[in-house]
């Protein structure tokens, strides 16, 4: 089949480290250009989506990997030009923007794929299968990392619309909503805001679910400097204990490792993207973003010391 000519809009570290290799290693795609503010990236490179669309007439698809703030306008323009779209997480800054993109893509007949890369880790599908039809006794999400390691010098994460600690925390939400046998709802929480930031640096949250009679909680924190902890610990009503580690890459059942295989998060994303394009279908999942929005609606606020990025 003729490769799908695809551009990357918002060329930065995640695009260079993950999207470029995934495109190059998938024969269904051909990298046809890139956009970044500095005009640096795979040639032909541009400084705006408008310039890209004007110059590359045979473009068929785009991966939008910008911060969430400007993504809606870029995506809307690309849909108007008939492009199939892969949106890096989180898909947009608001739920309303995602719903409008869903409507526009459906009207245009193009594919819209809101990606959650953590869902494509090897242990996630296995955990979902083990939890199917189960009732839960408890769940504890622990998502701790160092903002200075993962977002050095990136002030936008602490600006309004930058998501703060929910930028990594939404990965945990994407895994939880993928594996749990029923929806998850935020009951209450406390969000910790640096004195000079508009988004939280940490969060403690409590949830409810129709599938659980016990305690469901999450601890998100960007202040951990001695290594990452990305785990989800679940106990079922019958006493089984499942633990997802390394962001979902590993799964343990009652302390024993469960074999889990995956081609990799981003290779699997692009395989799914090609399949959706072939079927002229979209995959729009807003549940992780809904949990972020609900957390901001129902949580208390506490101020902590100023942050320097």
Q: For 203-247, write each residue's pLDDT tens digit.
A: 999 999 999 999 999 999 999 999 999 999 999 999 999 999 999
Residue 43 has pLDDT above 90, yes or no: yes
Query: Sheet of 229-236: strands edge to edge?
Result: 256-258, 250-253, 241-245, 229-236, 136-144, 212-221, 202-208, 185-194, 300-304
Q: What is the pLDDT of residue 114?
A: 98
Q: Is 89 a catalytic residue?
A: yes
In this prediction, residue 1 carries a pLDDT of 83
pLDDT of residue 299: 98
pLDDT of residue 96: 97
Share the mean pLDDT of the chain.
96
The active-site residue, picked from 2, 13, 89, 149, is 89
Least trusted range by pLDDT, from 14-18, 39-43, 63-67, 301-305 = 39-43
251-267: per-residue pLDDT in tens? 999 999 998 877 899 99
Mean pLDDT confidence for 87-95: 96
In the prediction, which pLDDT does 261 show? 76
pTM for the whole thing?
A: 0.94
């Amino acid at each position: 089949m003729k490769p799908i000519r695809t551009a990357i809009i918002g060329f930065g570290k995640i695009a260079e480290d993950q999207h470029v290799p995934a495109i190059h290693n998938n024969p269904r795609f051909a990298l046809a250009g890139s956009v970044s503010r500095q005009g640096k990236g795979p040639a032909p490179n541009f400084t705006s989506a408008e310039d890209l669309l004007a110059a590359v007439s045979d473009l068929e698809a785009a991966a939008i990997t910008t911060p969430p703030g400007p993504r809606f306008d870029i995506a809307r323009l690309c849909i108007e030009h008939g492009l199939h779209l892969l949106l890096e997480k989180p898909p947009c800054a608001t739920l309303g923007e995602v719903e409008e993109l869903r409507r526009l893509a459906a009207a245009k007949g193009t594919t819209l794929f809101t990606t959650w890369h953590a869902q494509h880790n090897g242990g996630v599908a296995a955990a979902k299968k083990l939890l199917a039809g189960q009732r839960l006794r408890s769940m504890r999400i622990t998502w701790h990392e160092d903002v200075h390691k993962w977002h050095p010098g990136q002030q936008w994460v602490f600006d309004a619309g930058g998501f703060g600690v929910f930028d990594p925390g939404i990965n945990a939400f994407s895994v939880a909503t993928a594996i749990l046998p029923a929806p998850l709802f935020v009951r209450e929480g406390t969000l910790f805001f640096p004195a000079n930031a508009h988004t939280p640096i940490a969060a403690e949250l409590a949830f409810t679910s129709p599938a659980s009679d016990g305690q469901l909680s999450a601890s998100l924190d960007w202040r951990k400097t001695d290594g990452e902890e990305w785990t989800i610990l679940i106990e079922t009503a019958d006493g089984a204990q499942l633990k997802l580690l390394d962001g979902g890459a590993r799964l343990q059942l009652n302390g024993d490792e469960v074999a889990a295989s995956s081609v990799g998060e981003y290779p699997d994303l692009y395989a799914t993207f090609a399949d959706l394009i072939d079927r002229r279908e979209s995959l729009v999942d807003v549940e992780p973003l809904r949990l972020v929005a609900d957390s901001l609606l129902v949580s208390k606020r506490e101020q902590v010391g100023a942050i320097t990025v």
